[in-house]
Amino acid sequence: MLSRLVAAVFLVALAAPAQSLSVKQLMSFLQSSVQIKQSDRDVAAFLSKAKMTEKLDDRTIEEMQSLGIGPKTVAALRALGQQSQGLAAAAPVVPEAKPLPKPPPSSEEQAAIIDDVRKYALNYSQNLPDYICTQVTRRYAAAPPGSLRGGPRGSDPSWQLQDTLTIRLSYFEQKEDYKLIMVNNTVVQQDYNKLGGTTSAGDFGSMLRQVFEPATETHFTWDHWGKLRGRLTYVFAYRVAQARSQWHIDYERKQDIITAYQGLVDVDLETRRVLRITLQAVDIPASFPVHKAETTLDYDYQMLSDQEFLLPLKGEVQLAGDDVLTKNANEFRLYHKYSADSAIKFDTETPAPLPEDGTKEQPRK
C-alpha cells in the first residue's frame, strides 16, 4: 500500500509543470524514486523541467549518487547544479545537540545512598502489613539454542508455555504462605510445595535483606542512571562472594548448592527505595545439573488500607540445564489487607500478562 501511494505521488509530480525544489525536497524526491524503482529516464525527464530554490553543490550531488540513481539522473543533477550557482547556499543541517551525560553521584553520595537503601531493605519485611494477593505464574520451557531443536547458536530461545498456575499468596506475621488454587484454569487441591517443575518462594523481602545485610559484605559499584516506570533511578551493580551467600539453587529437591551471585539494584531517586533487583548465579560447579540461574524482581507502589506500600509487581526466574531452559514469569495482583476471613475471588480465566514495557528500563531524556 505504501509503495502504491509513493508511486502515485511520483506520477503526479511527473505530470505537473516545472517545479521549484529545495535541496531537501530534491533529496526526498530521489529517495522515493529509488524506493519505487522508477526508471532513470523518467526521473531525469522530471528533473530537466525542475528549478532549484537553493544552490546545489557538487558534494550534495555525490551524496545523492550514493542513493543508487542512474547516469541520466546524475547528468540532470549536474545541470541543475550549474543552473543554481547564483543562488544562496542551502542552510546547513545542524544536528540536534545531545545533552551532556549526567555525572554519577560522588563516592560520598553513593555511600550515603547505599546506607539509606540498607536501612530500608533490612526493615522492609517488618514494615509491611499482613495481606493476601494473587500470584499468576506462567512456566515456559525451550530447547537451548545451538542444540538439535533449539535453533542457531546465539539466537533467542523459542519459549513454549507449559502451564499457568494461579496461587493465593498470603503474608502474615512476616511469613509467606503459598496455596495453589488452579493449574491451567482448573481448580486443584495439590500442595504447592510438592509441585514438580521450577518453583520459587521468598520473593518479598528475603532477596533485599540478604543483599544488604552487613554480614553479607556485598560489594557495590556505580553502574548508570536509569528510568523505570517513569521514575529516575540510581543503578548499582553488586557482587556477593560464595562464602557469604545464602542463595540456594535446588535441583528436583535432590541436589542443592549455594553459589556466589551478582546483579543490579535500581533505586528510586526520590525515595531511595528499591524498584528492581536482579540476581545472577556465578561460578556454578560444572558437575551441577543447572548451569545458569537468574532472577529478576520488580517492585511497584500499591495501596493497602488507604496507605501506599512498595510491593512485588513482577518477577522472572530462568534456569538452564544441558537439555532444557526453563522460565517462570510471576505476576502479583489483587492485593488486599489480610484478615482471618480474607478471601480472593478467583475467576476461571487467568488475566492477560502484564505489558512488558512496565518492567523495561526507559530511555532517559
88-106 pLDDT, tens digit per residue, is: 887 775 666 677 778 999 9
Structural domain includes residue 92: no
Structural domain includes residue 345: yes
Instruction: Name, in order, each residue with C-beta under 8 angstroms of 325's C-beta and a sequence gap of 6 or more.
Output: 141, 142, 143, 144, 157, 318, 319
Place of cell 539466537: 155
Residues 60 and 121 in one domain: no
Structural domain includes residue 256: yes
Residues 62 and 159 in one domain: no
Backbone angles phi, psi at 20, to 5 degrees: -95, 130
Count CB-CB contacts under 10 A for residue 320: 18
Work out the widest C-alpha separation in the chain, in whole angstroms: 89
Structural domain includes residue 318: yes
Q: Which of helix, strand or coil describes residue 51? A: strand
Taking only the tens place, the pLDDT of each residue in 182-240 is 999 889 888 887 887 777 766 667 888 899 999 999 999 999 999 999 999 999 999 99
Taking only the tens place, the pLDDT of each residue in 252-297 is 778 889 999 999 999 999 999 999 999 999 999 999 999 999 999 9
Residues 58 and 188 in one domain: no
Residues 137 and 17 in one domain: no
Taking only the tens place, the pLDDT of each residue in 116-135 is 999 999 998 888 888 888 99
For residues 242 and 5, what is the distance between their CA atoms, to the nearest angstrom? 63
- The structural domain count of the chain equals 2
Residues 115 and 38 in one domain: no
Residues 121 and 260 in one domain: yes
Residues 77 and 154 in one domain: no
Give yes or no for residue 336 having a pLDDT over 90: no
Asked if 164 and 183 touch (Cβ cutoff 8 Å), the reply is yes
For residues 303 and 294, what is the distance between their CA atoms, to the nearest angstrom? 29
Structural domain includes residue 93: no
Residues 184 and 235 in one domain: yes
For residues 309 and 301, what is the distance between their CA atoms, to the nearest angstrom? 5
Alpha carbon distances (Å) from 114 to 107, 117, 218, 267: 11, 5, 11, 9
The last residue of a domain, from among 83, 118, 148: 83
For residues 55 and 89, what is the distance between their CA atoms, to the nearest angstrom? 5
Domain that holds residue 118: 107-359
Residues 39 and 149 in one domain: no
